[in-house]
C-alpha cells in the first residue's frame, strides 16, 4: 500500500480568523497546482428527503459564500427550490486537503447570472439553450439536433443572451470545515461556525 505523503501539522494559530480568507489561501494554491481545482460536490435532498449529490464547478467565492451555475429546471435546482439546505465539498488530492461547507442555497440575482453567462464561450452558451438538463432524451442525436437548432436560432446574434431557465446559485455557509490529511489517519480538522449572518466565527478543532 502506498504510504500517505507527510504534510506539516495544521494548528489553530495557522488559520485565518475568517474562513473565507482561509479558503482563498488554500484555493489559490490549489488553482496553481491541482488539475481542475474548482471541481466540487454539491449535495441536496430530494422530495422524499433522500440525499442527492453531483459534481459542479466552483464559479466564485467570497464573504457571501460559494457560487455555481446550472439549469434552473435541473434536478438539483428543483431540489433546492423545495428545500434550500445544502452542502458542498472540495478535495485536492495533491495537497491532501478538503473543505466542507453547509448552509442555505439561494439563487443569484439576474444581473450576477447575466455577468457570468456573458463570460462563457459561445458553444457553452449555446449548450445552455440546447440541453433540457436532467430530463429524458431519446438518444445523442436528439441532443445534437437541439444544439443545431440553437445554432440556427442565434446564427446572427453576436452576444447570445442568458436563457431564463439558466443561472447561478450561492451556498451561504453556517459551517465550514478545513481538513488536512496526516499520517496514521490522525488528520487535522477545524470547524468554523456561527450562529447567524454577521455573527462572529468560532473555530474548534475536531477529532479525525
Do the domain assignments include residue 133?
no
pLDDT value of residue 64: 92
* C-alpha cell, 91: 478535495
Do the domain assignments include residue 142?
no
Per the residue annotation, which of 125, 140, 151, 185 is the catalytic one?
185
Active-site residue flag, 54: no
| Residue 70 near residue 77 (C-beta atoms within 8 A) | yes
| Residue 107 near residue 169 (C-beta atoms within 8 A) | yes
* C-alpha cell, 67: 457560487
Beta pairing, strands 188-193 & 202-206:
antiparallel
What string of DSSP letters covers 73-95? TSHHHHHHHH--EEEEEEEEGGG
| Residue 113 near residue 125 (C-beta atoms within 8 A) | no
| Domain total in the chain | 1
pTM of model > 0.85: yes
Do the domain assignments include residue 157?
no
Do the domain assignments include residue 137?
no
For residue 196, give the CATH number of its domain.
Answer: 2.30.110.10
- Where in the sequence is the domain holding 63, given as residue range(s)? 12-120+168-206
Do the domain assignments include residue 44?
yes
Over the chain (208 residues), what is each successive 10-residue block's mean pLDDT?
Answer: 72 96 98 97 94 97 96 95 97 97 97 96 94 85 91 94 96 97 94 87 96
Amino acid at each position: 500500500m502506498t504510504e500517505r505523503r507527510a504534510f506539516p501539522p495544521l494548528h489553530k494559530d495557522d488559520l485565518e480568523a475568517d474562513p473565507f480568507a482561509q479558503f482563498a489561501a488554500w484555493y489559490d494554491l490549489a488553482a496553481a497546482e491541482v488539475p481542475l481545482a474548482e471541481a466540487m460536490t454539491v449535495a441536496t435532498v430530494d422530495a422524499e428527503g433522500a440525499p442527492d449529490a453531483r459534481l459542479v464547478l466552483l464559479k466564485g467565492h467570497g464573504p457571501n459564500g460559494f457560487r455555481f451555475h446550472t439549469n434552473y429546471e435541473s434536478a438539483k435546482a428543483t431540489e433546492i427550490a423545495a428545500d434550500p439546505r445544502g452542502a458542498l465539498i472540495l478535495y485536492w488530492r495533491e495537497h491532501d486537503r478538503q473543505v466542507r461547507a453547509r448552509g442555505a442555497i439561494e439563487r443569484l440575482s439576474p444581473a450576477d447570472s447575466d455577468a457570468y453567462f456573458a463570460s462563457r464561450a459561445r458553444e457553452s452558451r449555446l449548450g445552455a439553450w440546447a440541453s433540457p438538463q436532467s430530463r429524458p432524451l431519446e438518444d445523442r442525436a436528439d441532443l445534437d439536433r437541439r444544439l443545431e437548432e440553437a445554432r440556427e436560432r442565434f446564427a446572427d446574434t453576436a452576444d447570445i443572451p442568458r436563457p431564463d431557465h439558466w443561472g447561478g446559485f450561492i451556498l451561504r455557509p453556517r459551517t465550514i470545515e478545513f481538513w488536512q490529511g496526516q499520517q496514521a489517519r490522525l488528520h487535522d480538522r477545524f470547524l468554523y461556525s456561527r450562529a447567524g449572518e454577521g455573527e462572529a466565527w468560532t473555530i474548534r478543532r475536531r477529532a479525525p
